[in-house]
Structure 1
Amino acid sequence: MAQNARVGVLTDELVRSILQFDPATNRQAYRQAKDIATRNIRAHQYTRTNQFDVAASFAGLDEKFRVLNRDDLADALQPRLQTLREKHNKWMPEYLSLLLLLSDRPTENSDVKALQILRSESPPPELTWKEILEDDPYSDEEIWKDIDYAAESSEDEGRVKKERKNRSPATIVEEDDTVDPEAYVLPIELERVVEVEDAQFWKAQPEEETGKANITELQAVRETLFMLAGLKTSLYVSDKHNVSIRVNQKYVSSHAMAKTMHHLLSQLADIGREICQLRYWVQRPSSLALIQTFEASVRRRLVDFDRSLALLQRRYLVPDTPVAVSLLALHDEIRATSRPLLQLSQLVADIEPQLLVNPFVHLETLFERISLAQTTLEGDVFLYFSGIFFECLQTYLKPIRQWMESGELVANNETFFVFESDPSSEVSSIWHDRFVLRRGKENALRSPDFLQPAVQKIFNTGKSVVFLKQLGIYGFGLDTSEVEPTLDHATVCDTKTTLPLSPFPELFQSAFETWIRSKYSLASTALRTYLVEKCGLLSILNEFTILYLGADGSVFQDFADAIFERMDTNQRGWNDRFLLTELARGIFSSMKSNVEKIVVRSARAKAENQSVSSLRGLSIDYALPWPIMNIIQRSSIPIYHQIFTFLLQTYRAKYLLQQVTLVSIRQTKDPRLVQLSFKLRQRLIWFTDILRSYLTETVILPATEDMTSAMNKAEDIDEMATVHLKYVARLQEQALLSHNLRPIHEAIISLLDLGVLFSDIHSQSAQQLGADLNKTSKVILIAKSPEKRPSKSPRKPISKSSRRKSVIPTIFEDDSSDSDGMDEREGEISRPTYKNVSRDGLEAGLKSIDERFGRLLPFVTAGLRSVGRVGAEPIWEMLADRLEWDKKKEV
């Protein structure tokens, strides 16, 4: 009951802290929230740690150590786990689970040698009587020997003490452990005491007249060295809060002018203040590894400076040869020694506000200062900053090395320019979607400026390793005995002189390229070989040109003719996707084993068959393996479909125009209509031929050859994908399928539709002509037969509802027919009314087509010339010239 009451009180406090309102104001809501919390608390079971999961985790850790060639860690882990298992404790799984949670990259941060520090020294074995007797055996005779009590008397005691007193302190310990304390007492040297008291100038009383205390130049030198080392002095007054150092004007030197002395000491105080600021900065802790490395490098430089100060102090304290004490000489020497350190202090002061925002700003600034020091011929500063730069660079290279070698990212590492944006992305887009480059303001890359030329290679190398792991071939043939090149001053500059002749940025970029190449080439070459040889990248691209781009003209023509024949049958199931798929697989059988990957899809077309736009609902899909889909991206497939449809529309117009034969045109018997039909047929066929030649020979063929050549030279997937994207973009632009060229494309489609209308007009005209001839022959037979002679009553005209309408009812209301050769005496009837209407409709339709062709073609050519001049595409002006080949040139 007490437990329940306590749980109830805690539940009340929990609900009140979350709801943040008085229960008295809304009791019902408070009661409902309390009931929900009580049920959840009672239903929750706090289970213990699963000991089997812990054991499996340690087993996996052991396997990981051995896979990563850290057998020393695995061998050290197993005996310790066995020792823990032997100790029976019910909380042992919790202890081991806690250790697993606290572990931080054990393969990188663990060192087996550190275990020797934890090993306690074994206690010496217990001394036994047997060992004592072996060293000092005794006999019964020695035990029972009589003692000579007169061997030593009190008279000899004084003599013994006197002898011991004359001995040196090192030999005063006798066998009986008797020590004479008087032997440790040394006589007092009063001269030394006076020297020490005189050296304590801060205790001297200032003169009453001036209020100043005189100091020697040696004392000033010592105080200056202490001040530079960061110690408290009397000559210099330091303020830790404001980080300032000033000269104490209480002290003067008797042999120098006060202003001169003060000026010299002030300059030394300024140097000490800059160094003091650097000392205070390195004492501030930082959580980022990059900044910690920089702080450690600065701390090492401060230690080196302190060591140089100690050597100066030794020179004045215990000189090997006589030394002239000169504060001015010390000033010059300190300035020369501290010049690089002072520039480092200024650098730290400049970048300190930016370190939290840009944690690698110190790398960029150091790189700039190194280049500046080389330009200004400051050799000491160049070497000084170069050493710090390469020490800090090693820390930044660790995540780069891990990413390029194993494709892994350090968790929560905001300083690295690669991060995983979509861990659950599909394998078909793993290259483009899973990992991205980290960018900051204004889309700037979050990496040091001097590394940005190589960022893309670093990024692609890591993605190549991830890709190989996804393929299951990582580790096969990727091992190399090549030693990783080192990046330090000696390797990069490669000179024994202080300053190299070549600029430092060029030397660094060359060395860094060599470092990257040692990791980049292996993974990218293995991946490229797999994609080309195992996945058949180049063969798939070749099959795409056959399927979508009509590279094999005869095969594409056979496929188009088969589709058009099914369309012209006017059957309902002509676009059945299963039948069309089998048809396509049979025609494209030259693709051998990959023919099963072809699937034809069809959608219900909104347009009628009299327009080439009805072919937009027909498309071909090709099943790509997921590695190839990272190169031929999904965004490129619609462009292939557009080009395929455009080519098919061109073939459709040419196919229908060829159905209108010269013989069928002559059957019109009207010379004007025959000549106009010949003219339109020739111009429309010529337009489709030029358009098809332009697409296949001028656009597709050169672009495909350039793409294949660039693909063979590409080094990684990123470059391959870029080549393919540029390829399809070039095809879309030059094939007049881009958005900004849409008006020109629609005008071309309208011109192709004119060919369809031309074919439809003549097909209807031929059908009507055949029907009229049949009716005329029946009338002649009736007129010749006396028993079936028609009455003289007028013949009613044929109703319009019984005639087939064309796609343009206002122009092609009736089908044309020809009966000019019929004699009026034979028929004894006048020409039917529908004949005159059909002839007028045919003539009006042909004139309309001629007028629209004459209006659309100049629009297309003018548009091509305009965009050709703007976009600097000479092929568009060439196409315009070819389309205007029959235009009369002005004299």
Structure 2
Amino acid sequence: MAQNARLGGLTDELIHSILKFDPEKNKQAYKHAKDLATRGLRAHVHARTNQFEVETSYKGLDEKFRVLDRDDLADALQTRLKELEAKTSKWKPEFLYLLLQLSDRPVDNSDVAALEILRPPPSPEPLTWSQIIADDPLSDEEIWKDIDYAAESSEDEKTPKIKETKAGSLLSSVEDEDLYNAVSCVALVATSSLSQVEDAQFWKESPEEESRKVEFSELQAIRETLFMLAGLETSLYHADKRNGSIRVDQKYIFSHAIPKTTHHLFSQLADIGRDLYRLRQWTKRSSSLPLIQTFEAAVGRRLQDYDRTLASLQCRYLLPTTPTAVSMLELHDEVRRTSMPLLQLSKMVSDIEPMLLVNPFIHLETLYEQIIEAQMTLRKDLFDYGSRLFFESLQTYLNPIRKWMESGELGANDETFFVFESDSGMEMASLWHDRFVLRRGQGNALRSPTFLHPAAQKIFNTGKSIVFLKELGIYGTGLASSEPEPRLDHESVCGTGSEVPLAPFAELFQAAFETWIRSKYSLASTVLRSHLFKEYGLLRILENFQIIHFGANGSVFQDFADAIFERRDSRQRGWNDRFLLTELARGIFATALNPGDVEKLVVRSSRSSTESRSVKTLSSITIDYALPWPIQNIILRSSTPTFHQLFTLNLQIHRAKALLQAIPFRALLSPHQHLTNLAYKLRQRLTWLVDILRSYVTETVIMPATAAMTAAIQKAEDIDEMAGIHLKYLARLQEQSLLSENLRPILRAVVALLDLAVAFADIYSQVGEKLRNIDEQFGKLLPFVIAGLRSVGRVGAEPVWEMLAERLEWDKPSKERY
């Protein structure tokens, strides 16, 4: 029951601090809020720290220290862990876990020699009687004499008489000991000075009954104004803590000025004090987010600087070193000038305060915009003030960026950083693309300050590069930069000139931030690129794909295609057994690939329900190439269907070509001359069609796209760019090879034309009706393909399609082609 009562009290305090309204006025809303809070608190269970994970973490630290040649640090850690084993405490895992969370790059920042400072001083040796006797021997006879208890005690001593001195002070009778009474040290105060102090206390004066006004001096008004601006209580100005307003007491007037004019001046100063008061109150309500805490601390420092300015004004008027004119108008102008940056800051805080919990870096975005505005209006004072505040507040946001880019680590439950880990147990083949994700908010907008959006992807990729290097086991090998981190502050970005910089602040910041990122980005990406190219042979793997799927080595691909066609035409059972086809492929491609690469080839086949000789059935045969997981993050699994489609298209073209070449010329002769002419015509036109398609796919589409892709990948800076280049490359091949979804009708017509070559090879020596049927279909399909290519060429602006259409109409006069 006691625990429930305590929990209820804490819940009430929590609701009051958040809602800030009277429960008696809105009981229903208060009850609803309390129910929600109570359910949430009761459902919250704090789990204990896993002691086995903590133990594993410390073992990992020991191994890391020894790998990095810090045996001294590892030995020191082991010594202290062994000492802890002798001590029993149920909170020991929590203590050790807290130390892990507080650690900051122990390899770089730890110094074993500093542990000597923590070593307690040696305990002094126990004091012995021999040491005591040596200092104070017991040989003195006086200590053994009997004590006379009847002697007069100190209580019987007479109190010395106090006598007055000539100066009127009291002096003890024991004058030779120079003992003085405390009263003699009190200085007498002149009565006139006390009267001046009492006269200055104008607030104690009672106003006259008929006017209810109290006259006071400008010097007194100045003092009250400076106190009010400093957030202190005054008699002239009254602060309302509930709504943060400041009211001027109307009863105080100047004898030499019109009351309305005076009160108008006081009201303007009260408005300034009101904004400053609200800003002071805001800094006292500390936030739980480190990013906002840094901003609050920076604002607090500026309020302290402002208070020092007020103190100097007080010295000028209240303790002048030179003759000074006491003028409220002059003070008003001085206060308005010195308070202008803080007033603008107070207005900004008032505007963004309701949105800080939703957007914890809105203050950075607002400051960024105000700096740009101050530069455009040539307000040097506001520009410098806002810029320095901006860079001070930005440093905390740079910490998670620095940690991510240098060590690939993310803060625990850091909702303000725009990178988070979606699944730590994801397979390595999708490490780069799926393990870490950019945090996005409403409207799919990146959850980071808008001025960092241009650099967000590079920051994201740098951290992923570090994680990638860790998984490869080469993190820490030459990654420590010898160059100091570039500064990112007002002086380094905007300079120290007396004028506003000519270059826009946005460009100055982006250039400086790019330099800051480059100091951490280049090294990690360079090491990773070098490892992928040298150790995993990225370029060699790309070349292997050209040989296997695209027929870059024409003779080898032709041998493999002919072997497939021979087994297929034999119609023997098991001709498409994937194990036999795999061995066949490895044997043929061994002449063009490295021995280690040949073993990565795997041929797959699916059984067809029909024994059709159509080239469409060749899609049942595919060939795959096993990739190491780092390369799978560049050549994605989603690319596999495109490779298979291009492989099938090449195989279909080779099939039609092989069947046409196998027809002997004498076999086309017929007793009827018109049938012979028709057979020769069909063979020539089908051969011409197959050659044009083969030349188009290999020379017009694949070769230039492959050369451009290889050159671009060699210049790419990170895996993200490499994968993007390769995806665009495959998309271009798919589009230009008529394999995309919107070009399916044209592709079906092309495949149907290839099937006409198969049909012609089957019936070229038979009766003429079937030949005329093939000729008629050819005459329908080819114009459809040409018209389709020209249509999509005009829409998609692909010149290769228009080029292919031109080549397919080679036998028509130019005036008949359009």
- TM-score normalised over the length of structure 2: 0.85
Contact 1:49/1:94 (<8 A) preserved: no
Contact 2:245/2:274 (<8 A) preserved: yes
User: Which residue does 1:99 correspond to in 2?
Assistant: 95
After superposition, the Cα gap between the structure-2 partners of 1:868 and 1:292, relative to the gap in structure 1 and judged at 3 Å, is same
Contact 1:70/1:107 (<8 A) preserved: no
SS in 2 for 1:94: coil
Letter in 2 for 1:738: S
User: Which residue does 2:227 correspond to in 1?
Assistant: 226
After superposition, the Cα gap between the structure-2 partners of 1:132 and 1:209, relative to the gap in structure 1 and judged at 3 Å, is farther
User: Which residue does 1:249 correspond to in 2?
Assistant: 250
Distance 1:115 1:238 in 2: 55
Distance 1:76 1:330 in 2: 63
User: Which residue does 1:556 correspond to in 2?
Assistant: 557
Output aligned runs, 1:454-469, within 5 Å.
454-469=455-470
After superposition, the Cα gap between the structure-2 partners of 1:585 and 1:83, relative to the gap in structure 1 and judged at 3 Å, is closer
Distance 2:173 2:756 in 1: 129
Contact 1:361/1:448 (<8 A) preserved: yes
How many angstroms does 1:322 deviate by?
1.9
Output aligned runs, 1:488-507, within 5 Å.
488-507=489-508
User: Which residue does 2:372 correspond to in 1?
Assistant: 371
User: Which residue does 2:746 correspond to in 1?
Assistant: 744
Output aligned runs, 1:212-361, within 5 Å.
212-361=213-362
After superposition, the Cα gap between the structure-2 partners of 1:603 and 1:74, relative to the gap in structure 1 and judged at 3 Å, is closer
After superposition, the Cα gap between the structure-2 partners of 1:124 and 1:389, relative to the gap in structure 1 and judged at 3 Å, is farther
Structure 1 residue 855 corresponds to structure 2 residue 790? no
User: Which residue does 1:865 correspond to in 2?
Assistant: 790
Output aligned runs, 1:394-409, within 5 Å.
394-409=395-410
How many angstroms does 1:696 deviate by?
0.4
Task: Deviation per CA, 1:504-533: give whole Å up to 9, x if none.
Answer: 111111111111111101110000000001
After superposition, the Cα gap between the structure-2 partners of 1:95 and 1:611, relative to the gap in structure 1 and judged at 3 Å, is closer
Distance 2:253 2:211 in 1: 10
User: Which residue does 1:619 correspond to in 2?
Assistant: 622
How many angstroms does 1:63 deviate by?
6.6
Distance 1:103 1:281 in 2: 33
Distance 2:134 2:214 in 1: 73
Larger deviation, residues 557-566 vs 70-79: 70-79
SS in 2 for 1:238: strand
SS in 1 for 2:627: coil
After superposition, the Cα gap between the structure-2 partners of 1:719 and 1:223, relative to the gap in structure 1 and judged at 3 Å, is same
Distance 2:483 2:668 in 1: 79
How many angstroms does 1:165 deviate by?
7.9
After superposition, the Cα gap between the structure-2 partners of 1:241 and 1:76, relative to the gap in structure 1 and judged at 3 Å, is farther
Contact 2:601/2:626 (<8 A) preserved: yes
SS in 1 for 2:603: strand
Contact 2:161/2:173 (<8 A) preserved: no
SS in 1 for 2:723: helix
Contact 2:218/2:326 (<8 A) preserved: yes
Task: Deviation per CA, 1:258-282: give whole Å up to 9, x if none.
Answer: 1111111111001001111111111
User: How large is the Cα RMSD of the aligned pairs?
Assistant: 3.8
After superposition, the Cα gap between the structure-2 partners of 1:490 and 1:428, relative to the gap in structure 1 and judged at 3 Å, is same
Output aligned runs, 1:676-695, within 5 Å.
676-695=678-697
After superposition, the Cα gap between the structure-2 partners of 1:85 and 1:220, relative to the gap in structure 1 and judged at 3 Å, is same
Distance 1:599 1:610 in 2: 24
Output aligned runs, 1:27-176, within 5 Å.
92-103=88-99, 105-108=101-104, 162=165
Output aligned runs, 1:190-209, within 5 Å.
190-209=191-210
How many angstroms does 1:660 deviate by?
1.9
Task: Deviation per CA, 1:787-833: give whole Å up to 9, x if none.
Answer: xxxxxxxxxxxxxxxxxxxxxxxxxxxxx4xxxxxxxxxxxxxxxxx
Distance 1:547 1:517 in 2: 39
User: Which residue does 1:799 correspond to in 2?
Assistant: none
User: Which residue does 2:707 correspond to in 1?
Assistant: 705
Distance 2:748 2:685 in 1: 19
Task: Deviation per CA, 1:639-690: give whole Å up to 9, x if none.
Answer: 0110010011011111111222210011x21111111111111111110110
Where structure 1 has 5 or more consecutive residues not aligned to the other structure, the ranges are: 1-47, 145-153, 766-815, 817-841
How many angstroms does 1:582 deviate by?
1.9
Structure whose CA Rg is larger: 1
Output aligned runs, 1:420-431, within 5 Å.
420-431=421-432
Structure 1 residue 646 corresponds to structure 2 residue 642? no
Contact 1:607/1:613 (<8 A) preserved: no
Contact 1:605/1:615 (<8 A) preserved: no
Distance 1:123 1:179 in 2: 43
Letter in 2 for 1:869: R
Letter in 2 for 1:681: R
Contact 1:172/1:180 (<8 A) preserved: no
User: Which residue does 2:511 correspond to in 1?
Assistant: 510
Identity fraction in percent: 62
Task: Deviation per CA, 1:301-342: give whole Å up to 9, x if none.
Answer: 111111111111122222111211111111111111111111
Contact 2:49/2:97 (<8 A) preserved: no
Letter in 1 for 2:246: I
How many angstroms does 1:102 deviate by?
4.4
How many angstroms does 1:547 deviate by?
0.5
Distance 1:176 1:115 in 2: 51
Distance 1:282 1:302 in 2: 10
Output aligned runs, 1:488-887, within 5 Å.
488-589=489-590, 590-593=592-595, 594-666=597-669, 668-762=670-764, 765=765, 816=766, 842-887=767-812
Letter in 1 for 2:691: D
Task: Deviation per CA, 1:444-488: give whole Å up to 9, x if none.
Answer: 111111111111111111101111111111111212211111111
Distance 1:195 1:75 in 2: 74
Distance 1:361 1:647 in 2: 56
SS in 2 for 1:591: coil
After superposition, the Cα gap between the structure-2 partners of 1:118 and 1:559, relative to the gap in structure 1 and judged at 3 Å, is closer
Distance 2:370 2:115 in 1: 39
Distance 1:79 1:605 in 2: 70
After superposition, the Cα gap between the structure-2 partners of 1:106 and 1:652, relative to the gap in structure 1 and judged at 3 Å, is same
How many angstroms does 1:178 deviate by?
3.8
Task: Deviation per CA, 1:849-871: give whole Å up to 9, x if none.
Answer: 11111111111000000000000
SS in 2 for 1:531: helix
Contact 2:290/2:396 (<8 A) preserved: yes
SS in 1 for 2:437: strand
- TM-score normalised over the length of structure 1: 0.78
After superposition, the Cα gap between the structure-2 partners of 1:433 and 1:266, relative to the gap in structure 1 and judged at 3 Å, is same
Distance 1:249 1:65 in 2: 73
Distance 1:752 1:117 in 2: 85
Distance 1:757 1:97 in 2: 78
Contact 1:531/1:628 (<8 A) preserved: yes
Contact 1:54/1:96 (<8 A) preserved: no
After superposition, the Cα gap between the structure-2 partners of 1:185 and 1:524, relative to the gap in structure 1 and judged at 3 Å, is same
Larger deviation, residues 440-449 vs 532-541: 440-449
Letter in 1 for 2:89: P
Where structure 2 has 5 or more consecutive residues not aligned to the other structure, the ranges are: 1-47, 146-156
Distance 2:606 2:75 in 1: 66
Distance 1:275 1:180 in 2: 51
User: Which residue does 2:39 correspond to in 1?
Assistant: none
Distance 1:679 1:651 in 2: 20
After superposition, the Cα gap between the structure-2 partners of 1:722 and 1:683, relative to the gap in structure 1 and judged at 3 Å, is same
How many angstroms does 1:560 deviate by?
1.2
Task: Deviation per CA, 1:290-310: give whole Å up to 9, x if none.
Answer: 011111111111111111111
SS in 1 for 2:239: strand
